[in-house]
């Protein structure tokens, strides 16, 4: 287990808040006159610090990626498996698989396949709740398309949720990527969509809990 680099500033601010509150409480000896208030004010910054640290945690996982398999790009729950019209890149029908990440999930995102980035675009947008049907097309989002060695193309979309205010990504067009490697991070509640060819064999089901790098969501 380690902490993600995107969380360093948030963790530092939470740590400063913790130290300031504890210093004030001890300096004014609040525990002598208002023990209950002292306990509440001591617990709150501790809880905030622990919550932020767990949000930015990154588990160290051993995974095996093989050509033809499609790995889950995020921890969370499968909330969508359906045939849709993809209107940004393919302009045809695809199978959409969506993974919702609650604030308790790991929020790093990982490449589902190996290949070359054919397309990348960031979109400003709304902040609908991440499970809203229109969040994939109306929310702040970043879209990537990875083309595998065998010529299959996978569209991957990071979608900001109602609480998310920053999408982080480390990819660019023309870059070669490996399945299972990290490509980005979304802060505070979000969703990742994967768009696959119609003949793809789906290996997950609705409401299934999944783990990035470990769960195989589909197979070419």
Res. 206: pLDDT tops 90: yes
Res. 34: pLDDT tops 90: no
CA distance 175 to 193: 20
Q: Choose the catalytic residue: 98, 114, 136, 190.
A: 190
The tens digit of pLDDT for each residue in 182-202 reads 999 987 668 899 999 999 999
Tell me phi and psi for residue 8, to 5 degrees. -55, -45
Task: Write down the pTM of the prediction.
Answer: 0.84
The tens digit of pLDDT for each residue in 126-167 reads 665 555 555 566 678 899 999 999 999 999 999 986 555 578
Domain borders along the chain are 2-58, 69-219
130 strand-pairing partners = none
CATH of 69-219, one of 2.70.70.10, 3.40.630.30, 3.40.50.150, 3.30.365.10: 2.70.70.10
For residues 77 and 130, the model is more confident at 77
Q: How many CB atoms lie within 10 A of CB 21?
A: 16
Is residue 42 annotated as part of the catalytic site, yes or no?
A: no
């Amino acid at each position: 287990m380690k902490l993600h680099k995107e969380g360093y500033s948030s963790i530092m601010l939470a740590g400063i808040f913790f130290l300031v509150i504890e210093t004030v409480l001890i300096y004014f000896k609040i525990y002598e006159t208002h023990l209950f208030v002292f306990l509440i004010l001591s617990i709150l910054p501790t809880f905030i610090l622990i919550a932020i640290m767990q949000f930015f945690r990154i588990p160290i996982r051993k995974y095996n990626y093989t050509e033809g398999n499609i790995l889950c790009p995020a921890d969370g729950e499968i909330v969508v498996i359906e045939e849709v019209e993809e209107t940004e890149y393919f302009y045809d029908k695809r199978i959409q698989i969506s993974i919702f990440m609650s604030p308790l999930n790991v929020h790093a995102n990982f490449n589902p396949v190996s290949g070359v980035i054919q397309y990348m675009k960031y979109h400003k947008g709304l902040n609908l709740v991440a499970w809203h049907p229109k969040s994939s097309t109306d929310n702040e989002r970043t879209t990537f398309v990875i083309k595998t060695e065998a010529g299959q193309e996978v569209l991957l979309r990071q979608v900001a949720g109602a609480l998310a205010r920053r999408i982080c990504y480390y990819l660019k067009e023309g870059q070669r990527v490996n399945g299972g490697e990290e490509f980005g991070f979304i802060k505070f509640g979000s969703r990742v969509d994967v768009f696959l060819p119609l003949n793809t064999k789906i290996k997950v089901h609705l409401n299934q809990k999944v783990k990035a790098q470990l769960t195989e969501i589909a197979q070419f």
